[in-house]
Amino acid sequence: MGLKILTEHINVPGIETLEVYRKHGGYRSVEKALKTMSPEEVVEEVKTSGLRGRGGAGFPTGMKWSFLAKPEGVPRYLVCNADESEPGTFKDRWFMQYNPHALIEGMITSSYALGANTSYIYIRGELMFVLRILEKAIAEAYAAGLLGKNILGSGYDLDLHVAPGGGAYICGEETALLESLEGKRGNPRNKPPFPAVKGLFASPTVVNNVETISSVPWIVNNGGAEYAKIGVGRSTGTKLISASGNINNPGVYEIELGVPVEEFIYSDQYLGGIWKGRELKAVVPGGSSVPILPKNLILKTAAGEDRLMTYESLSDGGFATGSMLGSGAFIVFDEEQCIVRNTWNYARFYHHESCGQCSPCREGTGWMEKVLHRIEYGHGHQQDIDLLVSVAKQIEGNTICPLGDAAAWPVAAAIRHFREEFEWHIKHPKEATAPGAVYRGKLDAVTA
Amino acid sequence: MAETINEVKFSDAAMAEIQRYISHYPVGRQKSALLPILHIAQAEFGGWVSPEVMDKIAEILNIQPIEVYEVATFYTMFNLKPVGKHVLEVCRTGPCCLRGADELINTLKRKLNIEEGETTADGMFTLKPVECLASCGTGPMLQVRELYYENLDSEERVDEFLEMMRQKEHETPTWAK
């Protein structure tokens, strides 16, 4: 099933304890980095590895690290984004719950590379039970001299704290997260200044996802060049995929980037096919904000090539015929699912989660939710479809943070690929609102 | 005319936990502990935060009360009105719906005879639909206080769950043990 970088030992009984974690090679990267490498050398290895941000944006981690400003006498911070809230995504929660020391090891090694002496893990407030697990593991690490003053006699000091959020999707956006960490409402900040210059407490700050940080120890232990050999092209390494929806084997899978989508869906070692013997209708491959693709376009690109689980292959064709790897939240729809209802559900989500700072997002998400609601419940007008497209366009690119785009894309994509289904709802409200009613036209209809 | 105001007093264990959080931040940045303290207050005072509790938090952090109100009203986890003993926070977002979240919410409404946002007459349950809880592979699911209850995909599972909750006392938060 391919190389396991993050999850090799996750099923070992007791791996959540320091003792068992160390017995399986845990904290080796801390010894190696702090005792034999300079911070710059660690950054160099991460650059060489080609590791890209695993929260959704896919930005090269080494490059992000190299942007960090280093003014004399000003503290620098590493903040771990554990505010996993993108619908469909649950890999970070699962990973921290079962292997907390792996994240802590990554935090120590990464903080050393960045010259941070205080670091924070900002975790969504709903995951208080995971916060307790992390705090227990952190206490063990302090007791073993892996945190605190003069770690392992290296002269390097690090304090690590966990901070809970309060229930707000927007706090996964890095500047909103920093606001929240400072005890404020999660309103995203205008950029510039970027967090790398002025982040937490107005100091230079790097914000990285849980999975990104947890990948650093392997890179330090084995070298960035070894990591870069895994995967395909610019999609190096392994990725945790959260698989949900109408499949036989939902759960988290660590895959080497490059597995064919068809194999991933139908092979028994992965999702095991569509549940209840049904047909595949569509997939949202990277979390609720990325475009939905109908069966034909998720299995093959528009050019007829096999679609692969990589950043490049999933986005092949742009938004006309492609999507995004995003956070790796792979949401599968069977033939019994209604695309209109799902699109309304997502629109309600984004309306609920808009922070309200920017009018296009605050008002636009509300409009989309209302219009979709009336289509779903049999009161739609023919012009509503174009109205939705128009509202989505007016939100996209016109907001401080990407939540606006995240709200607009799923609506635009659903209409792009399933327009007939929307039209059917509007033309045949009685049939469409009957219990269990689903449009049974062409499942692979493409209106690009 | 004399007015009686109920004095808000955190327990010693809660105060110790509050001080622990404050110590995580640089001097002068004590406001950063606001969200953790709101969680502690909610666990301490029956699952919700009253204006009086928020005023007390402002006093502890040496900030204006409005700074607490504006944060408590922004985040969905903080209940600003009294709630039942068990707040059932049911995920209503897309991935859980693919596995039966709508049915779960409807079943709970029917069995508890309440609508979304309401509390049962005996004060036992409040039904509060929430957005994605990062447990999509085990949906439909819900959260009560710090725990997740997953794969609630049949009437029998829901019955079992409700029966268990009726007998159940709150978990004591780790810091209060």
* pLDDT tens per residue, range A194-237: 999 999 999 999 999 999 999 999 999 999 999 999 999 999 99
Domain residue limits at B131: 86-167
Inside any domain, residue B3 = no
- C-alpha gyration radius of chain A: 22
pLDDT of residue B174: 83
Mind listing the pLDDT tens digit for each residue in A393-411?
999 999 999 999 999 999 9
Would you say residue A446 has pLDDT above 80?
Answer: no
**B130 inside 8 A of chain A by CB:** yes
Are both B67 and B97 inside the same structural domain?
no
| Mean pLDDT to the nearest integer, A109-138 | 98
Which of 11-40 (B) contact A at CB < 8 A?
Answer: 21, 24, 26, 29, 31-36, 38-39
pLDDT of residue A360: 97
| pLDDT values of chain B reduced to their tens digit, one per residue, 177 residues | 445 556 899 999 999 999 999 999 999 999 999 999 999 999 999 999 999 999 999 999 999 999 999 999 999 999 999 999 999 999 999 999 999 999 999 999 999 999 999 999 999 999 999 999 999 999 999 999 999 999 999 999 999 999 999 999 887 888 887
- Chain A CB contacts of B34 under 8 Å are 183-184
- Which segments of A146-299 are extended strands (E)? 159-164, 205-209, 231-232, 235-236, 238-245, 251-256, 280-284, 293-294
Question: Who among A159, A163, A346 is closest to B36 (CB)?
Answer: A163
Choosing among B77, B87, B172, which should be mutated to test the A contact, i.e. which has the most A CBs within 10 A?
A: B77
**A166 inside 8 A of chain B by CB:** yes
Question: Who among A90, A132, A345 is closest to B136 (CB)?
Answer: A90
Are both B112 and B139 inside the same structural domain?
yes
Are both B57 and B107 inside the same structural domain?
no
- Interface A-B: count of C-beta contacts within 8 A: 154
CB B159 within 8 A of CB B166: no
Q: Does domain A339-432 have CATH number 1.10.357.10?
A: no
Alpha carbons A314 and B102: distance in angstroms, whole number? 30
Choosing among B133, B141, B144, B170, which should be mutated to test the A contact, i.e. which has the most A CBs within 10 A?
A: B133
Inter-axis angle of helices A210-222 and A28-36, nearest 10: 60
Longest CA–CA span in chain A (Å) reads 74
Cβ–Cβ below 8 Å for A129 and B148 = yes
Q: Domain holding B67: CATH number?
A: 1.10.10
pLDDT of residue B1: 45
Neighbours of B52 (CB within 10 A): 13
**A54 inside 8 A of chain B by CB:** no
Are both B99 and B155 inside the same structural domain?
yes
C-alpha distances in angstroms, B126 versus B83, B115, B120?
6, 9, 7
Of the residues B46, B72, B98, the one at which a domain ends: B72
Are both B45 and B90 inside the same structural domain?
no
pLDDT of residue B177: 78
Is the backbone peptide bond immediately before A192 cis, with ω within 30 degrees of 0? Answer: yes
Alpha carbons A392 and A406: distance in angstroms, whole number? 10
Choosing among A89, A91, A126, which should be mutated to test the B contact, i.e. which has the most B CBs within 10 A?
A: A126
| Residue whose C-alpha is closest to residue A332's, from B99, B153, B141 | B99
CA distance B161 to chain A (A): 19
Q: Which residues of B are annotated as a binding site for [2Fe-2S] cluster?
A: 91, 96, 132, 136
CA distance B22 to chain A (A): 11
pLDDT of residue B6: 67
Mind listing the pLDDT tens digit for each residue in A297-327?
999 999 999 999 999 999 999 999 999 999 9
Mind listing the pLDDT tens digit for each residue in A63-79?
999 999 999 999 999 99
Q: Does domain A232-334 have CATH number 3.10.20.600?
A: yes
At A85 the three-state DSSP class reads: coil
pLDDT of residue B175: 85
C-alpha distances in angstroms, A403 versus A169, A208, B131?
9, 18, 15
| Residue whose C-alpha is closest to residue A416's, from A448, A394, A439 | A448
**Count of structural domains, chain B:** 2
Are both B101 and B161 inside the same structural domain?
yes
Residue B11 φ/ψ, nearest 5 degrees: -70, 165
Q: Which residues of B are annotated as a binding site?
A: 91, 96, 132, 136
Cβ–Cβ below 8 Å for B71 and A183 = yes
Mind listing the pLDDT tens digit for each residue in A156-194?
999 999 999 999 999 999 999 999 999 999 999 999 999
pLDDT of residue B170: 82
C-alpha distances in angstroms, A172 versus A18, A88, A122, B21, B76?
29, 14, 9, 21, 15
| Burial readout B71-90 (b: 16 or more C-beta within 10 A, e: otherwise) | bbebbbbbbeeebbbbbbbb
With 0.90 as the threshold, say if the pTM is over it.
Answer: yes
Chain A: residue whose CA lies nearest to B29: A182
Chain B: residue whose CA lies nearest to A136: B174
**A335 inside 8 A of chain B by CB:** no
Q: Exposed, middle or buried: residue A29 (CB in 10 Å: 0-12, 13-18, 19+)? A: buried
Domain regions of chain A by residue span: 18-225, 232-334, 339-432
Are both B90 and B161 inside the same structural domain?
yes
**B174 inside 8 A of chain A by CB:** yes
Cβ–Cβ below 8 Å for B35 and A164 = yes
Of the residues B42, B72, B102, the one at which a domain ends: B72
Alpha carbons B114 and A31: distance in angstroms, whole number? 57
- Helical (H) or strand (E) element with B91: strand B86-91
**A333 inside 8 A of chain B by CB:** yes
Mind listing the pLDDT tens digit for each residue in A221-231?
999 999 999 99
Inside any domain, residue B111 = yes
Tokens of A334: 């069977």
Cβ–Cβ below 8 Å for A242 and B78 = no
pLDDT of residue B5: 57
Are both B49 and B92 inside the same structural domain?
no
Long-range contacts of A148-156 (CB under 8 A, 24+ apart): A151/A30, A151/A34, A151/A108, A152/A30, A152/A31, A152/A34, A152/A35, A154/A34, A154/A35, A156/A34, A156/A112
Query: In this predicted complex, what is the ipTM?
Result: 0.96
Q: Domain holding B111: CATH number?
A: 3.40.30.10
Mean pLDDT of chain A: 96
Choosing among B48, B78, B136, which should be mutated to test the A contact, i.e. which has the most A CBs within 10 A?
A: B136
Are both B90 and B65 inside the same structural domain?
no
Are both B94 and B154 inside the same structural domain?
yes
| Residue whose C-alpha is closest to residue A352's, from B44, B60, B131 | B131
CB A447 within 8 A of CB A417: yes
Q: What is the CATH number of domain A18-225?
A: 3.40.50.11540
**A199 inside 8 A of chain B by CB:** no
Inside any domain, residue B115 = yes
End-to-end CA distance of chain B: 42
- Chain A CB contacts of B172 under 8 Å are none
| Mean pLDDT to the nearest integer, A329-347 | 97
